[in-house]
Structure 1
Amino acid sequence: MPRQFLYKPPIPQTEPWPPERSEPGLLSDEPARDVYRAACAHLGRALEPLGFKYLKSKQRCIARRSRFTNEVAFQSSHYNVSGRHVQLWMHATVASEELQAWRARCLPPELSSAHVAGGMVHLLGTRFAMVQWELADPQDREQTIQDAIQFIHSEVLPYFERFESVENLLAELATAAVPAFDLVPSVEFSCCFGGTAQAQATLDRFLRDRPDLQAAIAAESVSPSPAALSRPGGYAQQVVFLRHHYNLQ
């Protein structure tokens, strides 16, 4: 269980509770929504010195760099129970207006998004199966929020930093997969910022890593489904999509 998986089970009903609490076993009388929003605001303030702007209405922090936009977004659970569970999940994504404009020249308008890479923060590396923070207990809430801030510094910001060195990232994509950087956007990134040869190198690396897909790719190539040329699903369709739109082998 990763250090950041700070889940605390509810207090057993056999355990005494403070008399000032309105229900047995409650950790506090604070509404779950208020606890979550206050924690998001705290995280937002912590990121402001790093160039992020906190958007209170959306619970997300955005920083516009020279070529890329970095976003840290917060999410909670529909299953929160005030005084018992207040979950905090975190997403980190990289976007590029330059890549979006390049896609607009190559693809139908509905496919020209600015998304580059990212997702839930446990996907940014290979060490964690899942990461979440439990905010319900006011006694350790500050420590929990500080742990979330530390996680951003140790895991999220270094991930963002990888994209600032485009040449190094292009070279890396030709030799190894980058976490939370899916096949289609990674090849598009390579084509946009490096050219067709770089895109081919990224696709070739993927095909070397996945020889088990050869039969499915061959079958899809003979008779491409409409989805393969518009919104591909599985890897075989994605490879056909890339070859069709970007003249790759």
Structure 2
Amino acid sequence: MADHGAEKPREIILTACSAIADQLFKDGFSFLKSGPKLKRKARDLTYNIHFQSDRNNVAGRRAAMWIHASVSSDIMARWRLENPMPWNGTHKPSLAIITGGQIGNLLPNSSWMEWNFADISRRTAQIDEATSAIRTIMLPFFALFETPATAIETLIHYPALWQSSLIEYALAHVGRDAAQHAMRQYLTANPRIHARYDEALTYIRLHGPITHRGDTGAELAMIANIHAFNLTDI
């Protein structure tokens, strides 16, 4: 039961986000309270850190927050408009998104991470821990995109990220050979997804495009079919 005289979880979390933003200001991030999120623009790329409140927060008991990252590219958005997939549509903000996820999913072995600011005696420590996690996990993740080939080679094997989007990123920023190589490496390392890819590719060639997304193997098969990848050697 909520303590109606206690601090409201939303107010606590906004204050915590502002404190995190103060610590990351020198890293070039601006704070958008309406998100709430942090944002940094670097040439073509936009790095976003999103703060999400747990809907099960209770005044006086729980003021938990999850942190997510996303990386967007203006070049990616333009490329997708010129090379549309059936599920992308047009002029959507999501066209620019390369990849992202909950902070624990930005690690090679994904995990769930959250911070609870309800206990005032531990609030400063929780803020510092959240900021430290951003510095040690998110900032190196963002830094990978300074060299697109490195980002693709590293992140294609992270299980919780969006492999189909990374392949599109490779096509847009590095080239077809790099995209094909990354897909080959990923499918070779993931036989179950490779099997779904083969099944989807057969379906596409017999019946036409798959118009919805949600299965990694099917999404990769659509990209391979449209861009005439040659992956017969895997």
Structure-to-structure mapping, 1:233-248, within 5 angstroms: 233-248=214-229
Please tell me the residue identity of whatever aligns with 1:236. Answer: G
The alpha carbon displacement at 1:186 in A equals: 1.2
Q: Determine the structure 2 residue equivalent to 1:196.
A: 176
Q: Which runs of 5+ in 1 are unaligned?
A: 1-9, 11-21
Whole-angstrom distance in 2 between the partners of 1:133 and 1:228: 42
Q: Determine the structure 2 residue equivalent to 1:156.
A: 138
Q: Determine the structure 1 residue equivalent to 2:44.
A: 67
Whole-angstrom distance in 2 between the partners of 1:227 and 1:46: 51
Q: Determine the structure 2 residue equivalent to 1:101.
A: 78
Whole-angstrom distance in 2 between the partners of 1:230 and 1:43: 41
Q: Determine the structure 1 residue equivalent to 2:161.
A: 181
Q: Which runs of 5+ in 2 are unaligned?
A: none
The alpha carbon displacement at 1:128 in A equals: 5.2
The alpha carbon displacement at 1:226 in A equals: 8.0
Whole-angstrom distance in 2 between the partners of 1:214 and 1:31: 48
The alpha carbon displacement at 1:193 in A equals: 1.3
Per-residue Cα deviation, 1:60-91 (whole angstroms, up to 9, x for no partner): 01000123110001011121111111001100
Matched, 1:230 2:211: yes
Counterpart selection for 2:35 from 34, 58, 63: 58
Matched, 1:91 2:73: no
Whole-angstrom distance in 2 between the partners of 1:235 and 1:167: 21
Change (3 A) 1:207 1:184: same
The alignment yields a C-alpha RMSD, in angstroms, of: 2.6
Maintained 8 Å contact 2:76/2:96: yes
Maintained 8 Å contact 2:148/2:170: no
Q: Determine the structure 1 residue equivalent to 2:15.
A: 38
The alpha carbon displacement at 1:214 in A equals: 4.6
Please tell me the residue identity of whatever aligns with 2:65. Answer: L
Structure-to-structure mapping, 1:214-229, within 5 angstroms: 214-224=194-204, 229=210
Change (3 A) 1:202 1:220: same
TM-score by length of 2: 0.85
Maintained 8 Å contact 1:107/1:245: no
Counterpart secondary structure, 2:121:
coil
Q: Determine the structure 2 residue equivalent to 1:17.
A: none
Change (3 A) 1:30 1:102: same
The alpha carbon displacement at 1:171 in A equals: 4.6
- For the pair shown, the structure with the greater C-alpha radius of gyration is 1
TM-score by length of 1: 0.80
Which moved further from structure 2: 176-185 or 84-93?
A: 176-185
The alpha carbon displacement at 1:239 in A equals: 2.4
Counterpart selection for 1:212 from 192, 208, 216: 192
Whole-angstrom distance in 2 between the partners of 1:202 and 1:128: 20
Matched, 1:136 2:118: yes
Maintained 8 Å contact 1:227/1:233: no
The alpha carbon displacement at 1:155 in A equals: 0.9
Aligned-pair identity in percent equals 23
Which moved further from structure 2: 154-163 or 127-136?
A: 127-136
The alpha carbon displacement at 1:180 in A equals: 4.5
